[in-house]
Chain A
């Protein structure tokens, strides 16, 4: 089979812009494995892993036999008495599950600006969810409100998140929300330089849940 490994980087960037890097990586690794097996998965990881550390981590987990876990129940348990929840970042699989698990919570999504996609289409996949920006997300603040973000690997003291999270949970905001939840999609931190991500202290989160 003809495989254009070089062009997969551009394809991944497009997919990640609307699905999230972790979601896109799991979808890509499934297709690549089906098409060319572990050898092709390794080849693509070698070619694009440094540019996309989340892809690198997901491909490594796939090669180790791990498959994506999409269970929103632990996060939903933390959010059951909330009125409003702002999700910083977008990972389609996990967000879809969260929307289904929290029918009575008003949800806002603050998409990442790192890989801009078609936000209108992104939001039309999330009926009932409001898109918010860094200028408007505090409309969701309150004693029964929370901020949640996707975590791309965490160690004993730190966690890797999207840059928007740093602003969203700044000192001026922390008093306005009840809890700050991290949803760790990757387990341990990435093996390569965490491009696109930022390292924050783990104790920024009131709760850190593994996917």
Chain B
């Protein structure tokens, strides 16, 4: 590696470490690193700011913002509150069915809306239920942990659920249908195995004294909480129709003719016209601009590293490993999972996709890309800090002030660790299994 390659890679690495260590300042960290990289590349590396900006996949950012609008629109319709109530009733507020129902519900919801919105919609209902039912620390930890892992799996199941898949779609690495038919079954298998281990071997409810009276009180209270809540069809119907139209467009229209970002943009405009004032308000006040800015900075950092030729060096190093091509893929996917665990999904995927493209040239591309998405999903589930969803769950749990055995219930880094290791292992193993079969 020459000096330029080393310097850009070092800045990227330092930025990733700093944003992981200082999550509250992550936007400042990556913004600072991005501007420093632009200046340094222009002065020393002979790569102008214009070149770096031209490499930013703007289509991906468009899709991220558009899906954020859809998430807020569907959330505003109150449909998910009704779904959560249904989940509570369906489970009878009994410990084991409750875990199963909420994990499956979270998997389904996070496949449609982004992970943070899904958590904000479903978790308060679950925490209220746990407060009403009474819980143990063990049950609290495994229930919330399993829901978090399901959230990551749901996000990886569809091309619109989370950033890694959106990146694959936006960059044209995979089509909508190719990703969906491969990733959805894999995530379902991973979810089934994970749930099986949790419910059969771990048994979160062990030691929890379940009270039928508490279950009755919980269901009566939850029903009263939603006694007059009605789904706003004026929001839900246009939202679902526009989303269905987008999905149909992604499935049917050739990407070379109409790109996925154009379809997303058109879908957003259609939705906008359905409820102009509300959509404008949601876009201005509620859609997460931070995510787009964070990704933009990451793309610039990664672009500088790419322009310096570092990914080619990394790719060649991987190919030079003294092992079979299959072994090289395994090393890459395991490394991707661990790096995502350390640096979080966005940076992990943005940096690793370039290396994956080299592997995709030699192996079935779909297997490599979906394998990478599953590895990133596994990494996101490893530590509580590996994805933004983790700290959000922690914050919501602390805010709920749940009483457990006379103390306040916890859901911190070390509480989540056993759930995370299990989720990581299961998702990675399932992902690797599918890749090995496909190669």
Asked whether A and B interact, the reply is yes
Which residue of the partner chain, among A3, A4, A92, A124, contacts B224 with CB atoms under 8 Å?
Answer: A92
* Chain A residues near B220 (CB-CB < 8 A): 27, 31
* Chain A residues near B402 (CB-CB < 8 A): 10
| Alpha-carbon distance A11/B212, docked complex (angstroms) | 13
* Chain B residues near A73 (CB-CB < 8 A): none
Per the 8 Å Cβ criterion, residues 188-207 of A in contact with B are none
If the complex has contacts A14-B132, A31-B217, are A126 and B212 also in contact, measured as CB distance less than 8 A?
A: no
* Chain A residues near B227 (CB-CB < 8 A): 92, 96, 125
Do A32 and B131 have beta carbons less than 8 Å apart? Answer: no
Main secondary structure of the interface of A (DSSP, over half): helix
Task: Kindly report which residue of chain A lies nearest to residue B223, judged by CB atoms.
Answer: A27
Do B131 and A2 have beta carbons less than 8 Å apart? Answer: no
Do A14 and B131 have beta carbons less than 8 Å apart? Answer: yes
Do B131 and A10 have beta carbons less than 8 Å apart? Answer: yes
Does any Cβ of B come within 8 Å of A57's Cβ?
A: no
Do B134 and A31 have beta carbons less than 8 Å apart? Answer: no
Which residue of the partner chain, among A7, A15, A96, contacts B134 with CB atoms under 8 Å?
Answer: A7
Which residue of the partner chain, among A4, A36, A96, A118, contacts B214 with CB atoms under 8 Å?
Answer: A4
Does any Cβ of B come within 8 Å of A177's Cβ?
A: no
Do A3 and B211 have beta carbons less than 8 Å apart? Answer: yes
If the complex has contacts A14-B128, A14-B221, are A7 and B211 also in contact, measured as CB distance less than 8 A?
A: yes
Per the 8 Å Cβ criterion, residues 9-31 of A in contact with B are 10-11, 13-15, 18-19, 23-24, 27-28, 31
Which residue of the partner chain, among B131, B209, B225, contacts A11 with CB atoms under 8 Å?
Answer: B131
* Chain B residues near A35 (CB-CB < 8 A): 212-213, 216
Per the 8 Å Cβ criterion, residues 215-241 of B in contact with A are 216-218, 220-221, 224-230
Shortest beta-carbon distance, B95 to chain A, in Å? 12
- State the interface size on chain A (CB cutoff 8 A): 32
Do A1 and B213 have beta carbons less than 8 Å apart? Answer: yes
Do B214 and A19 have beta carbons less than 8 Å apart? Answer: no
If the complex has contacts A2-B212, A4-B209, are A11 and B217 also in contact, measured as CB distance less than 8 A?
A: yes
Do A2 and B224 have beta carbons less than 8 Å apart? Answer: no
Which of A14, A28, A96, A127 has the most C-beta atoms of chain B within 10 angstroms of its own C-beta? A14
Q: Once A and B bind, how many residue pairs between them come within 8 Å at the CB atom? A: 89
Task: Kindly report which residue of chain B lies nearest to residue A126, judged by CB atoms.
Answer: B228
Do B212 and A96 have beta carbons less than 8 Å apart? Answer: no
Do A124 and B134 have beta carbons less than 8 Å apart? Answer: no
Does any Cβ of B come within 8 Å of A121's Cβ?
A: yes
Does any Cβ of A come within 8 Å of B81's Cβ?
A: yes
| Alpha-carbon distance A44/B210, docked complex (angstroms) | 17
| Alpha-carbon distance A118/B132, docked complex (angstroms) | 15
Does any Cβ of A come within 8 Å of B138's Cβ?
A: no
If the complex has contacts A14-B221, A24-B221, A31-B216, are A2 and B209 also in contact, measured as CB distance less than 8 A?
A: yes
Does any Cβ of B come within 8 Å of A8's Cβ?
A: yes
Does any Cβ of A come within 8 Å of B124's Cβ?
A: yes
Sample (23) of A-B pairs whose CB atoms are under 8 Å apart:
A3-B211, A7-B211, A7-B214, A8-B213, A8-B214, A10-B131, A11-B133, A11-B134, A14-B131, A14-B221, A15-B217, A18-B224, A18-B225, A19-B224, A19-B225, A23-B224, A27-B221, A27-B224, A31-B216, A121-B229, A124-B78, A125-B226, A125-B228
**B interface residue numbers (CB < 8 A to A):** 78, 81, 124, 128, 131-134, 209-214, 216-218, 220-221, 224-230, 402-403
Q: A4-B209, A31-B216 are in contact. List 16 more A-B contacts (CB 8 A).
A: A1-B211, A6-B134, A7-B214, A10-B131, A11-B221, A14-B131, A14-B132, A14-B221, A15-B221, A19-B221, A35-B213, A36-B213, A96-B227, A121-B81, A121-B226, A126-B228
